[in-house]
């Protein structure tokens, strides 16, 4: 870890420690449709806060995907219900937003969070600072928010038990694509080594996260890949999933965001897009890229966000209309100098 990294984490610990000392209750939240990093960061931080005597509740808008349920053996992750959670959110001493700063991505949690008396804290590794949060701890050099949480806990003198370490490890491996994305760094590998020393079982994590696909998801992936399109000399690849295909494959509840990853394994592909038709006249966009092709900025143009090489958005409109609207800026992005 560099001196700059140490200084940022030390500053974060010095700002958080007194807030935690004074707090009795805390709510931990992340973005809608939480991913491995958001969930891992929540569970890791939540376990630490409880060792400090805080009633820490993880409250999400959506249930845990099947691949992440093993991270929550005690059933601590709650699904937001205004009748059960509104008062707690509004009266909490602290609210931690993890792996996201955009208030627009809080979903149904937003009114209660905006109306809360809590000190609001954003811990994130995306290079965006949202003025809404009273305390912003943003480290773009961290490979994952869970890794940043792990480092801060250590510097505050906290012990990270095997369950917390496992959660942070899932944050790290999912957001680095198992150490292959551009943010993989010496610091990232150092953190992974410490997590393993704390009791993480890598084969178990891989099996739970990446080997729990259903036949429905595989059928759906095959249907999408069968109609693969390529443009820009093969640098742009895109696929579609219609509502009819999703229903025919009995894949209504499947997370298809990883289907698009296979397109990046095609030699020469730099940018990949999945257009998935949802109900209610909406289309889910999943963008993936390599190198300096920044799909986060592309997704932001359509109300979404994410990372440099992995981002998404949901837009209104029909499938063909959306394809016609999205592909031109994709082509333009590939024309920009690297």
Map residue 185 onto helix, strand or coil.
coil
Tens-digit pLDDT profile for residues 29-39? 999 989 999 99
**CB-CB neighbours of 210 under 10 Å:** 13
What's the rounded mean pLDDT across residues 275-289? 95
Radius of gyration for the alpha carbons in the chain, expressed in angstroms and rounded: 20
What is the mean predicted confidence (pLDDT) over 178-186? 88
Q: Please determine, for residue 64, whether its predicted confidence score (pLDDT) is greater than 80.
A: yes
Give the burial class of 309: count Cβ atoms within 10 A of its Cβ; 0-12 exposed, 13-18 middle, 19 or more buried: buried
Q: Is the pLDDT of residue 304 over 90?
A: no
The answer to whether residue 297 scores a pLDDT higher than 70 is yes
Band the pLDDT of 253: cuts 50, 70, 90: confident
pLDDT band at 13 (very low <50, low <70, confident <90, very high): very high
Mean residue pLDDT of the chain comes to 94
State the Cα angle at 110 between 108 and 114, rounded to 5°. 155
**What is residue 183's predicted lDDT score, i.e. its pLDDT?**
83
pLDDT at residue 182, rounded to an integer: 79
Lowest mean pLDDT of 80-84, 253-257, 262-266, 273-277, name the range: 253-257
pLDDT at position 254, please? 83
CB 166 within 8 A of CB 71: yes
- The pTM for the full model equals 0.88
CA distance 5 to 133: 22
Does residue 296 register a pLDDT over 80?
yes
Q: Which residues on adjacent β-strands are paired with residue 156?
A: none
Q: Tell me: pLDDT of 307 over 90.
A: no
Convert the pLDDT of each residue in 77-122 to its tens digit: 999 999 999 999 999 999 999 999 989 889 999 999 999 999 999 9
Bridge partners of residue 121, in order along the sequence:
96, 135
SS3 of residue 261 by DSSP: helix
165-176 pLDDT, tens digit per residue, is: 999 999 999 999
50 or 305, higher pLDDT: 50
Band of the pLDDT at 338, cuts 50, 70, 90?
Answer: low
What does the pLDDT average to over 207-224? 93
What's the whole-number mean pLDDT along residues 41-47?
Answer: 98
Q: Which domains does the chain have, with CATH numbers?
A: 3-210 (3.90.1640.10), 215-335 (3.10.310.30)
Whether 267 shows a pLDDT value over 90: the answer reads yes
* 276 to 56, 67, 105, 287, 333: CA distances (angstroms): 36, 21, 19, 11, 21
DSSP string of 220-282, one letter each residue = HHHHHHTT-EEEGGGTEEEEEE-HHHHHHTT-TT---TTGGGGGGGSTT--EEEEEEEETTTE
* Residues 285 and 313: beta-carbon distance below 8 Å: yes
What pLDDT, on the 0 to 100 scale, is given for residue 45? 98
Give the tokens for residue 233: 């000399």
Distance between CA 77 and CA 112 in Å, rounded? 18
């Amino acid at each position: 870890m560099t001196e700059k990294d140490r200084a940022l984490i030390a500053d974060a610990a010095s700002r958080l420690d007194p807030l935690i000392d004074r707090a009795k209750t805390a709510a931990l939240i992340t973005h809608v449709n939480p991913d491995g990093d958001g969930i891992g960061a929540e569970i890791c931080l939540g376990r630490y806060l409880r060792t400090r005597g805080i009633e820490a509740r993880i409250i999400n808008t959506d249930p845990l995907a099947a691949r992440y349920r093993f991270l929550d053996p005690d059933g601590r992750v709650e699904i937001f219900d205004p009748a059960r959670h509104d008062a707690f959110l509004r009266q909490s001493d602290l609210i931690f937003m993890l792996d996201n700063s955009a208030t627009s991505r809080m979903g149904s949690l937003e009114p209660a969070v905006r109306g809360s008396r809590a000190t609001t804290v954003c811990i994130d590794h995306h290079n965006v600072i949202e003025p809404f949060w009273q305390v912003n701890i943003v480290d773009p050099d961290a490979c994952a928010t869970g890794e940043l949480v792990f480092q801060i806990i250590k510097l505050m003198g906290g012990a990270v038990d095997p369950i917390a370490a496992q959660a942070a490890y899932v944050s790290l491996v999912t957001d680095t694509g198992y150490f292959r994305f551009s943010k993989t760094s010496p610091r990232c590998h150092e953190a992974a080594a410490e997590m393993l020393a704390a009791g993480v079982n890598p084969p178990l994590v891989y099996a739970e996260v990446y080997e729990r696909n259903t036949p429905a998801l595989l059928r759906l992936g095959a249907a999408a890949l069968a109609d693969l399109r390529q443009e820009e000399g093969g640098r742009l690849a895109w696929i579609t999933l219609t509502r009819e295909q999703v229903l025919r494959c009995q894949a209504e509840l499947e997370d298809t965001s990883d289907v698009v990853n296979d397109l990046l394994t095609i030699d020469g592909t730099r940018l990949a897009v999945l257009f998935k038709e949802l109900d209610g006249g909406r289309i889910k966009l999943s963008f993936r890229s390599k190198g300096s092709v920044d799909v986060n900025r592309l997704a932001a143009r359509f109300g979404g966000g994410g990372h440099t090489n992995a981002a998404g958005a949901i837009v209104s409109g029909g499938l063909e209309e959306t394809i016609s609207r999205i592909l031109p800026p994709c082509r333009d992005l590939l024309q920009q100098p690297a």
